[in-house]
Amino acid sequence: MNAVVTENSLRSPDGLRHDWRLAEVEELFELPFLDLLFRAQQVHRAHHTPNTVQMSTLLSIKTGACPEDCGYCPQSIHYETGVAREAMMPLADVVEAARKAKEAGATRFCMGAAYRSPKQKDIEQISHMIREVRSLGLETCATLGMLSPEQARDLKDAGLDYYNHNVDSSEEYYKKIISTRTYQHRLDTLEAVRNADLKVCSGGIVGMGETRTDRAGMLVTLANLPEHPQSVPINQLVQVKGTPLHGGEGVDSFEFIRTIAVARIVMPKAQVRLSAGRQEMSDETQALAFLAGASSIFYGEKLLTTGNPDVERDRALLARLKIAPETAHQTQARSACG
């Protein structure tokens, strides 16, 4: 069967497909570039407000010395990357960073911690942060590694909106990048997060030396979850000296854009985020990513430990493209619809 004709068939009760086959998704990747972008933009306009981008700001609330060996990550204790180990940030500093992010125009605040999995006392401390950040009128997101079902429920009770936990690549390629946990561990946490009624933020990294089949496989995993993630970050690998993936070939920029377009087509309602790697991208590549269906960015000078375009560059880019930042009101109205 041809993906071009079957895309609208076989829908589940949520009206979305969860039965994508690898071959179909590979066919999408193989479309002529302009056909792929045209289709992605059609899907985008059927489900999202055009010319609008949601902005999330990241903060590393606990940095470095992570016991996991993710081959891309500057925060792993296994690699010499020069990232200094830092204890949990005090509550007041987190709230201050969130206040500034809101003032600059972000509508979601994402708190990241370099954990394999958090301890109960960490969940309690972070629950305070979530309550305070939420009371500023921001959506909240956290990314803290693996969670038990109870921890996911505790975070929900604290008012957390989204939990970020990426599948990062295909199941086959994942084994080559990380040895300290399995793909199934990731899927188990995503299940705990879904069952706690938290919104799922899950995506991956492009440019780690994976094949197109791996990129398609990653999108099949995400699209065939029982519910599509509400948010799908697509990161371009930020090569950090000292990590095993430093010095790799990277990915062709059109292939990166194709990945965004296919994500948009197979997960029509998801917020597809043009995530890490923007600092290294031209304005033109970013504009193509928006055309391909990216509807969100990380906003602010820093990701977790690496750089992101400064606020002035982003404001100027959005103004040149006449793309409006999503307002807090629009973000909340969209989230209320699921």
| Footprint of ligand DTB on 84-113 (CB under 6 A) | 112
- Whether 337 is catalytic is no
Q: Are 139 and 331 in contact (CB under 8 A)?
A: yes
Catalytically annotated residue among 39, 70, 108, 334: 70
Only one of the segments 94-102, 218-226, 300-308, 317-325 lies at the binding site for ligand DTB (rule: CB under 6 A); that segment is: 300-308
* Residue selected from 71, 105, 233, 268 as contacting ligand DTB according to rule CB under 6 A: 233
Q: State CA 223 to chain mean position distance.
A: 14
**Known active-site residue 73:** yes
Tokens 């956290």 sit on residue:
142
Which partner from the list ligand SF4, ligand DTB, ligand SAM, none does 325 bind, CB cut-off 5 to 8 Å by kind?
none
By CB under 6 A, the residues from 276 to 295 that bind ligand DTB are: 276
Q: What's the min distance (Å) between Cβ of 260 and ligand SF4?
A: 21
- Give residues with Cβ within 8 angstroms of 166, minimum separation 6: 186, 202, 203, 204, 205, 233, 235
- Give the rounded distance of the alpha carbon of 120 from its chain centre: 25
Residue 305's binding partner, choosing from ligand SAM, ligand DTB, ligand SF4, none, with beta-carbon cut-off 5 to 8 A by kind?
ligand DTB
In a 13 Å sphere around the CA of 106, the CA atoms on its Cβ side amount to: 26
| By the rule CB under 6 A, 166 interacts with ligand SAM | yes
Residue 276 in the binding site for ligand SAM (CB under 6 A):
yes
Least separation in angstroms between residue 112's CB and ligand SF4 is 8
Q: Which stretch binds ligand DTB (CB under 6 A): 209-217, 260-268, 284-292, 298-306?
A: 298-306
Tell me the C-alpha distance between 204 and 279, whole Å.
18
Which 17-76 positions form the footprint of ligand SAM (CB under 6 A)? 66, 72-73, 75
Instruction: Give the nearer residue to ligand SAM in terms of CB position, either 137 or 307.
Output: 307
Least distance CB 275 / ligand SAM (angstroms): 7
Q: Is 325 in the site for ligand SAM (CB under 6 A)?
A: no
Q: Does 76 bind ligand DTB (CB under 6 A)?
A: no
| Residue 250 within binding range of ligand DTB, rule CB under 6 A | no
- Catalytic residue of the set 201, 215, 264, 334: 201
Contact with ligand SAM (CB under 6 A) among 83, 205, 222, 317: 205
Residue 201 a catalytic site member: yes
Terminal C-alpha separation, the chain:
32
The residues annotated as belonging to the active site are 66, 70, 73, 110, 141, 201, 273
| Contacts to ligand DTB by CB under 6 A | 58, 74, 112, 143, 164, 166, 203, 233, 235, 238, 275-276, 303-306
| Contacts to ligand SAM by CB under 6 A | 66, 72-73, 75, 112, 114-115, 143, 145, 165-166, 168, 205, 235, 237-238, 240, 276, 304
